[in-house]
Amino acid sequence: MDKQDFPGWHGTTIIGVRKGGKVVIAGDGQVSLGQTVIKGTARKVRRLNPGGHEIVAGFAGSTADAFALLERLEAKLEASPGQLQRAAVELAKDWRTDKYLQKLEAMLIVSDGADLYVITGAGDVLEPEHDVTAIGSGGNYALAAGRALMDSDMDAEAIARRAMAIASDICVYTNGNLTVETIAR
């Protein structure tokens, strides 16, 4: 089967919101193959605890690829305890230059409760300007909704939940079955 003949895995919306001394990362639970929903209860947001330093990570893209990246991130964090930015940059450098890692198709949003980053296979470690970031098929919808809600009285979790609800109403590859993790520093 030629790669272009395979419909591919689509879906996922992950949002990260930093407000009021907390960071919330939320993700939907839908996994789709082409136009078919394969699973509606996937967990795409996880807590990691490398070296006793808690991290929350959400991923979009291939699950196996995301888990490979999360393992690499944990190793980088164990080598540089408590230094999320350094670990993220080291992961991004490896991802861009390592022939095995270059084939991985995923993106990550990570936070230690203070910092919030998007890590991409293009070698990017991006910190959002407006304390909201989102990835995945419904990422642009969640990002727009989250940014619009940042000036409201809502806390980080309420913003993330509302933005995800809006994204799930618009994006057919996103559902309302959320995993939400909060981390404070």
Please indicate whether residue 133 is annotated as part of the active site: no
Q: Which one of the listed residues 12, 13, 133, 174 is annotated catalytic?
A: 12
CA 56, 183, 11: angle at the middle one, nearest 5? 40
The Cα 58–Cα 107 span in angstroms is: 8
Strands lying side by side in the sheet with 9-10: 9-10, 31-33, 36-39
Active site residues: 12
